[in-house]
């Protein structure tokens, strides 16, 4: 039997060898990072080294990195600053953890274009109509389409209105530059397992530690009083190692994945000219392609791919099992029928040309069977 092909890296990336080695070493460390004895100080050094590595991923000061249980907690924590009022604006394509609103009683959505980019002019109009100090949350790159958002332009508008900008960089970190200064963001969320670290660990990073946050988890004084609970030393060490490895290979991996994605999308169009690739005309993550064919049902296609030994997704993994079409594609104006057929393919650092060719071979079979049922020639 042929080896399976994994093309669902946006859901979770395989554990990097560097992260695995760091975690195994950390598991042999006995001390609690909060203890003052030698064992505790050894554990503390591991945590602080990883903090430096994660900070370097986004060009931040290590002291402004707060470790969390993952991207969701980081996002919810970001929506808790005590220095803003009750105005929260989010883009229409945000992750559910941002759309839920955190401590805010209500959220207001900022629209996106048909290509899936935030409408900065609309954001500026919304900001001009409001007083007080708003908080705005705009992801750096969408997890479904891969479309990169105009965060720097949005940050200028938000700061001109006296507000704060949070960006969910969970899907972008390790794939494209995420420098917090260049983006102009005040708060950035990242997650380890999207870039080759372990699941269950993430971070919220502040541009300035003067930005006050209300702790979601209260108790001891860990993480400088922002997030209580004994630190998960092994996971943090793995996160740091993965962040360092991703930083080093950022440009080379990006170029290679972009070339592989181009091969995939050209092949899709050759086999099925009717295929629609979402966000194809704007900047996207180099590893992500979201496509649909009229009349195709994504769930059926994903199962068919799986039977052919290829792992892909019908959209965001956190939304699997839901009947409703993607809110991201709805915001882009895609029809419900087309949105229900969207399949996401996402690549990673170990993806090879042979994997793309296996996917295309599988698509010939999948399209031949599924699109024939709809009367569309494959």
Q: List active site positions.
A: 318
Which SS3 state, helix, strand or coil, does residue 136 take?
strand
Which SS3 state, helix, strand or coil, does residue 266 take?
helix
Which SS3 state, helix, strand or coil, does residue 367 take?
helix
∠ CA 174-179-183, nearest 5°, is: 120
Is the CB of residue 204 less than 8 Å from the CB of residue 212? Answer: no
* Nearby residues of 92 by Cβ (< 8 Å), 6 or more positions away: 109, 110, 111, 112, 327, 331
How remote is the C-alpha of 174 from its chain's centroid?
10
Alpha helical stretches, state H, the chain = 17-27, 38-58, 71-78, 96-99, 120-128, 151-160, 180-183, 233-248, 250-271, 298-307, 327-331, 336-339, 353-374
**30 burial via Cβ count (<10 Å: 0-12, 13-18, 19+):** exposed
Beta strand 288-292 pairing with 310-311: unpaired
The span from the CA of 68 to the CA of 229, in Å, is 10
Dihedral sign of CA atoms 327, 331, 336, 337 in order: negative
**Which of the 8 DSSP states describes residue 307?**
H
Is the CB of residue 324 less than 8 Å from the CB of residue 298? Answer: no
């Amino acid at each position: 039997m042929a080896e399976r092909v994994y093309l669902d890296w946006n859901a979770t990336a395989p554990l990097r060898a560097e992260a695995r080695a760091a975690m195994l070493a950390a598991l042999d460390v006995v001390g609690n990072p909060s203890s003052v004895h030698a064992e505790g100080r050894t554990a503390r050094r591991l945590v602080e080294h990883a903090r430096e590595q994660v900070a370097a991923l986004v060009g931040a000061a290590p002291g402004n990195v707060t470790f969390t249980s993952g991207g969701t907690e980081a996002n919810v924590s970001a929506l808790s600053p005590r220095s803003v009022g009750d105005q929260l604006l989010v883009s229409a394509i945000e992750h559910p953890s941002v759309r839920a609103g955190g401590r805010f009683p209500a959220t207001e959505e900022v629209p996106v274009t048909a290509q899936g980019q935030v409408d900065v002019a609309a954001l500026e109009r919304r900001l001009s109509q409001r007083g007080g100090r708003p908080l705005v949350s705009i992801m750096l790159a969408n997890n479904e389409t891969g479309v990169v958002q105009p965060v720097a332009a949005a940050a200028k508008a938000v700061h001109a209105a006296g507000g704060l900008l949070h960006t969910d960089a969970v899907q972008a970190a390790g794939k494209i530059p995420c420098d917090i200064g260049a983006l102009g963001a005040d708060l950035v969320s990242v997650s380890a397992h999207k870039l080759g670290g372990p699941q269950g660990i993430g971070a919220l990073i502040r541009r300035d530690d003067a930005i006050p946050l209300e702790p979601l988890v209260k108790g001891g004084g860990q993480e400088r009083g922002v997030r209580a609970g004994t630190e998960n030393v092994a996971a943090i060490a793995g996160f740091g190692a993965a962040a360092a490895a991703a930083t080093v290979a950022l440009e080379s991996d990006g170029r290679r994945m972009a070339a592989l994605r181009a091969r995939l999308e050209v092949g899709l169009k050759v086999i099925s000219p009717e295929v629609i690739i979402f966000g194809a005309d704007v900047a996207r993550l180099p590893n992500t392609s979201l496509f649909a064919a009229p009349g195709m049902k994504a769930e059926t296609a994903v199962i068919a791919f799986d039977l052919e030994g290829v792992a892909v997704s019908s959209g965001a993994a956190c939304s699997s099992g839901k009947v409703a079409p993607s809110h991201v594609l709805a915001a882009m104006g895609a029809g419900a029928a087309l949105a229900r057929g969207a399949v996401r393919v996402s690549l990673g650092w170990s993806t090879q040309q042979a994997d793309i060719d296996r996917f295309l071979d599988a698509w010939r079979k999948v399209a031949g069977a599924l699109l024939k049922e709809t009367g569309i020639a494959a």
